[in-house]
Each structure stands twice: as structure tokens, then as C-alpha cells.
Amino acid sequence: MPSPPLAPIDSPLDRDHLSRMTLGDAELEQEVLAMFAEQAARLLAAMAAMPAETGALAHKLKGSARGIGAFAVADAAAGLETAIRTGRGRSDAFAALKEAVTEASAAIEAILKP
């Protein structure tokens, strides 16, 4: 899998990465983005009460986010995994993840608008 860009991007989504991952298929790109937005919302809702499986859910979201180029979401999910593992900063890490997902979801919504 290609590495994320070294320079920061202005958007919550790396569209070049997404295009590479979907082989330039615009229809597939839209389908993948819609599935990610739905999955991210579901996983955030499941993690809200910090159940025992929160680390596994964050890991799942991290992988999905990397796949579509939502690297801020992936980084925030990794931060939540670390917070859970260390037992420190869970609520702050979850808040950061929630914010990153909100930004990515807004970008996805703008892309998917007809």
C-alpha cells in the first residue's frame, strides 16, 4: 500500500490516495466513501460508552480510514488505541477521534452531493 503524503494536506481526505486505492474508478470511490461514513458513525456510536471492545473498534476504524485517505481519522483512532492501552487520556482521545470523523464526514458529504 502506498504511504501517506509527507506534506500535510488541506482536506480531511487525501483524494489522490483514494483514487489510487479505487484504481481511478469514480463510482467505486463514491461507494467506498459512503460506506466509510456509515461505518465511522456506527463505530463512534459503539465506542461512546467506552466498552471493553473500544480498542478493537478504534483499530478497525483506523484501518478503514487509512484505506480511503482519511489520515487524520486514522491518527486519532491510533491515539485512542494508545490511550486505552495506557489507561490515560481516553476521553480526550475519543473527543479528538470524534472531531476528526466529523471533519472527514463533512468532506465526504460534500463529495457525494449530486
Q: Would you list the DSSP string of the chain?
A: -PPPPSS--SSSS-HHHHHHHTTT-HHHHHHHHHHHHHHHHHHHHHHTT--TTHHHHHHHHHHHHHHHT-HHHHHHHHHHHHHHHHTS-HHHHHHHHHHHHHHHHHHHHHHH--
Residue-wise pLDDT for 10-56, tens only, equals: 789 999 999 999 999 999 999 999 999 999 999 999 999 999 999 99
Residue-wise pLDDT for 89-103, tens only, equals: 999 999 999 999 999
What would the grid cell of residue 79 be?
Answer: 491515539
Nearest residue to 76 via CA among 100, 47, 103: 100
- Give the mean pLDDT of 54-71: 97
- Give the mean pLDDT of 54-68: 97
**pLDDT at residue 10 in the model:** 74
pLDDT at residue 9 tops 70: no
The reported pTM is 0.89
What would the grid cell of residue 19 be?
Answer: 483514487
pLDDT at residue 1 tops 80: no
Nearest residue to 80 via CA among 97, 61, 101: 97
